[in-house]
Amino acid sequence: MKIGILTSGGDCPGLNAVIRGAVLKGIAVHGQEFVGYKDGWRGVVEGDIIDIPRTMVRGISKQGGTILGTSRTNPFENGGGPEVIKGHMDRLGIDAMIAIGGEGTLAAAKRLTDAGIRIVGVPKTIDNDLDATDYTFGFDTAVEIATEAIDRLRTTGESHHRCMVAEVMGRHVGWIALHSGMASGAHAILIPEQRVNIDQIVEWVKLAHDRGRAPLVVVAEGFTTDTMAEAHSERGLDTFGRPRLGGIGERLAPEIEARTGIETRATVLGHIQRGGVPTAFDRVLATRLGMAAIDSVVEGRWGTMVSLNGTDIVHVGFEAALGRLKTVPQDRYDEARVLFG
């Protein structure tokens, strides 16, 4: 059997470990052959592939990014569609696909599966926002990177007695902000799930400052105050028509400084959270998911994705993966909120 692998959407640490796990098990256990689609769905639509022999995946589990490249191409636009994609698969002798990506990738994979193309999925999002899996690879690494960066911001903030605002990724959910904020001892954590007014934020900052601390605020890019109609965006729309978020930290910092008199600085961590080597946790999880995806292919579980349930890898339908976002529940935020101020 010849299997095509693609990585689509935003990159994150752990993608290469998935590829390695799938290829090594597929070759060693089942004698399968592998090719990689270049740059995600673009390669699928254009039939642009490279061979993936065993030698190509040696030592790549520790590498960040993806050796196949990625893009945010919509496979149903720009000359794509099921007929075109199936035609390329027949021409290239590809029997099935493993699609590694987030909600957008899996939604496209479901539509193509419904059209008769044999696809299994591997969930990928550093936001950890897919409800059908307990954790997604890349999240642990993003939290670790954010925590280290925030720790560094804290030391300079304390030296100058400043308030530091650290903006982290999180369009719809605040898992990265919650975990990195708790880990770094933030005095306020602001997430999309919780609309907080500026007076409350200022109160938390003042409480920390009055105790002789340099206040630290961690905010997710998708956070909105109670007076904002939508998340802050200054950079237009992406290829799927979604606002490119970013800049809420720069918007909050002058407001905090004006209301408290405390010199305030904002830093946007941005894409630094996507880069670098994956943590050991993410390498292991990604490898296990890649190996489990081969089981899905062998068993003909088309239209499903592999998922982490506790410590077990299970198989769930794309419908479950796309049903709803995994948001930060109220009790988890209340738990952290005790530590604010």
pLDDT digits (tens, 9 = 90+) for 112-165: 999 999 999 999 999 999 989 999 999 999 999 999 999 999 999 999 999 999
Q: Model confidence over 164-217: pLDDT tens digits?
A: 999 999 989 999 999 999 999 999 999 999 999 999 999 999 999 999 999 999
Round to whole Å and give the CA distance between 266 and 257: 11
Structure tokens at 157: 């903030």
Beta carbons within 8 Å of 308's beta carbon, 6+ residues apart: 133, 134, 135, 136, 285, 289, 314
Contact assessment for residue 71 and residue 64, using Cβ atoms and an 8 Å cutoff: no
If pLDDT is split at 50, 70 and 90, which confidence band does 319 have? confident
pLDDT at residue 277, rounded to an integer? 95
Q: Which of 127, 129, 140, 282 is catalytic?
A: 127
Check whether 298 has a pLDDT greater than 70: yes
Q: Any binding-site annotation on 104?
A: yes
User: Phi then psi for 116, rounded to 5 degrees?
Assistant: 105, 5
pLDDT at residue 241, rounded to an integer? 66
pLDDT at residue 240, rounded to an integer? 58
Round to whole Å and give the CA distance between 94 and 33: 9
Please state, rounded to an integer, the average pLDDT across all residues of the chain. Answer: 94
pLDDT at residue 214, rounded to an integer? 95
Is 127 assigned a catalytic role? yes
Q: Cα 161 to the chain's mean position, in Å?
A: 33
Task: State what percent of residues in the chain have pLDDT above 70.
Answer: 97
Q: Any binding-site annotation on 317?
A: no
Residue 39 φ/ψ region, left for φ over 0, alpha for ψ in the -120 to 50 degree band, beta for the rest: left
Q: Model confidence over 193-202: pLDDT tens digits?
A: 999 999 999 9
Round to whole Å and give the CA distance between 98 and 122: 7
| Of 280, 325, 285, residue with least CA distance to 306 | 285
The predicted model gives 88-94 an average pLDDT of 97
Q: Any binding-site annotation on 9?
A: no
| Of 110, 144, 130, 184, residue with least CA distance to 13 | 144
pLDDT at residue 245, rounded to an integer? 77
Q: Any binding-site annotation on 31?
A: no
Residue 299 φ/ψ region, left for φ over 0, alpha for ψ in the -120 to 50 degree band, beta for the rest: alpha
Q: Any binding-site annotation on 288?
A: no
Q: Any binding-site annotation on 170?
A: yes
pLDDT at residue 164, rounded to an integer? 97
Q: Any binding-site annotation on 116?
A: no
Round to whole Å and give the CA distance between 217 and 248: 12
Pick the range with the lowest mean pLDDT from 6-10, 46-50, 202-206, 244-248.
Answer: 244-248
Q: Which residues of 145-181 are buried (b: 16+ CB within 10 A; e: fewer)?
A: bbbebbeebbeebeeeebbbbbbbbbbbbbbbbbbbb
Round to whole Å and give the CA distance between 281 and 90: 38
Check whether 232 has a pLDDT greater than 80: no
Q: Any binding-site annotation on 301?
A: no
Q: Any binding-site annotation on 70?
A: no
Q: Any binding-site annotation on 287?
A: no
Element (H or E) spanning 85, and its range?
helix 82-92
